[in-house]
Amino acid sequence: MHQVGHEWLDQPEHQRRSKQSGPSFVNRMDAEIAANVISVSAGKPTCGGQTYSACKRRPHVHHQDGKMALLVVCALFTLSCWVSFYFVLCNVNGRRSYEWNCRLVTLVHGILAVCITAYIGYVDGPWPFTYPGTKNTPLQISALVLSLGYFIFDMAWCVYFRTEGPVMLAHHTMSILGILLTLWLGESGIESCAVLFGSEITNPLLQARWFLKQTGRYGTWLGDVVDVLFVLLFVTMRIFVGGTMLYCELISPRPRFFIKCGGVAMYALSWVFMVDIVRFATRKRKGWQRQKDGLKESLTANGHEGKRD
């Protein structure tokens, strides 16, 4: 044992330090560089087996995943709120049909959506015709998540009860996909809120028309007022204002290509609805003309035609 100790003492000092202290400082630095520090391989910087840019993006990816998970939870929460509201109406208002209660939910959503998106566009900003493609604000996200839950509920209800045709189902599908895309990209929320405002502003009148029919009051002057307001609002908001909004969207360099495609699809769908509205307005005008002619015939039969004071 002493002999071994003497041999160790007889060795040069730098060899004794190497055996006593392990790898030298230079060797440790080489190992650390190889394991943890960025190296260049085939002309591309790497970091832990990934490209350096991917290594830098990892915190952003985790943040984005967490944000999307929160949005999913919020969307499920709003969906459960709309479903719960519908079932409460069915229990409280059980003497009415399922469609009656579903349209009450639709009416409430339309009023809420119009109020919130009007505040976003006219007060909170930004102005959608001037600043399309901007980052989503918390209020915009809240409005979109609220409507997303409703559209999912109403889509499922319409499919289950088979009450709507392919045009309305296409409208709901595009609305859901458009909101999801806007939330996923994190931008163009102001355009989506503007589209939501233009789409829902005629909704209360549409529901009022249905309720008037169910209660037997559609044939009165109130039904005529609702029809005239509905046609005027639809043509103004969905065709003229919507066309201007689409033009601003297409000429702006900020919005993504998919957002622009969604805007074109929604505007094209508005023209499909417009064709039906023109047919309805034509029938309505002919009905008024027949009523006017019938009134004249009634006056003639009673000897009042041409009466002068």
Residue 300 lies in a domain: no
Residue 8 lies in a domain: no
Q: Are residues 41 and 115 in the same domain?
A: no
pLDDT at site 11:
52
Residue 305 lies in a domain: no
pLDDT at site 287:
78
pLDDT at site 241:
96
Q: Are residues 224 and 245 in the same domain?
A: yes
Q: Are residues 43 and 184 in the same domain?
A: no
Measured at the alpha carbon of residue 16, what is the angle toward residues 14 and 21, in degrees to the nearest 5? 95
Q: Are residues 156 and 40 in the same domain?
A: no
Residue 158 lies in a domain: yes
Q: Are residues 38 and 137 in the same domain?
A: no
Alpha carbon distance 62, 199 (integer Å) = 35
Residue 147 lies in a domain: yes
What's the structural domain count of the chain?
A: 2
pLDDT at site 9:
43
Q: Which domain holds residue 103?
A: 60-292
Q: Are residues 128 and 76 in the same domain?
A: yes
Q: Are residues 23 and 98 in the same domain?
A: no
- The two three-digit tokens of residue 43, written as one number: 């002309």
pLDDT at site 42:
45
Residue 154 lies in a domain: yes
pLDDT means per 10 residues, the chain with 309 residues, are 44 48 46 44 47 48 72 94 97 94 97 97 93 95 97 96 91 95 94 95 95 93 93 95 96 94 94 92 82 62 50
Q: Are residues 261 and 288 in the same domain?
A: yes
Q: Are residues 64 and 43 in the same domain?
A: no
Measured at the alpha carbon of residue 239, what is the angle toward residues 248 and 229, in degrees to the nearest 5? 135
Q: Are residues 130 and 232 in the same domain?
A: yes
Alpha-carbon distances, residue 198 vs 23, 102, 104, 142, 308 (angstroms): 72, 21, 20, 18, 49
* C-alpha 74 chain-centroid distance: 13
Residue 40 lies in a domain: yes
Q: For the chain, what's the residue count?
A: 309
| DSSP symbol at 137 | P
**Prediction pTM value:** 0.74
Q: Yes or no: say if 189 and 137 are a contact pair by the CB < 8 Å rule.
A: yes
Q: Are residues 140 and 27 in the same domain?
A: no
Residue 155 lies in a domain: yes
Alpha carbon distance 99, 101 (integer Å) = 5
Q: Are residues 41 and 152 in the same domain?
A: no
